[in-house]
Structure 1
């Protein structure tokens, strides 16, 4: 599981649509579907109930959504702290 998986899961959950999540993330819908499937396989539980025109969170999806959002926020905070405390000139050279 990585942050990309969690960001994709949150986007689908918030948009209630794989296609709208794909547009939001600027990726193909098939990539969104694959990413969610990988996350579901990793967790061993389905996160969404899917039909042709309907996407709903399962109990597992509801239970994990806040934690996924918190993990993303924590990662974003780490990135922001690093950028804030170390100006560009102290960054390591490649």
Structure 2
């Protein structure tokens, strides 16, 4: 599981649509579908009930959503702390 999986999951959950999530994330809808499927395989549970025009969170999806948001917020806090402690940036390696 990586943060990209969680970010995509949260976007689909909030948009209630794979296509709107893809637009929001600026990626192809197929990439969103593959990412969510990878997260579902990793968790061993479906996160969404899908139909042609409808996406709903499963019980697992509902139970996972707040934790996914918290994990993303924690990752952002790590980034912010790193930026505050050192204003320098890594220079690209040749």
Moved beyond 2 Å, runs of 4+: 91-94
Q: Which stretches in structure 2 are left out of the alignment for 5+ residues?
A: none
Structure 1 residues 86 and 9: CA distance shift in structure 2, 3 A? same
Deviation at 1:92, TM superposition (A): 4.4
Which residue does 2:67 correspond to in 1?
67
Deviation at 1:85, TM superposition (A): 1.2
Q: Distance in 2 between matches of 1:39 and 1:30?
A: 14
SS of residue matched to 1:11: helix
Alignment of 1:21-60 (within 5 A): 21-60=21-60
Aligned-pair RMSD on alpha carbons?
Answer: 0.9
TM-score, with normalisation over the residues of structure 1?
0.95
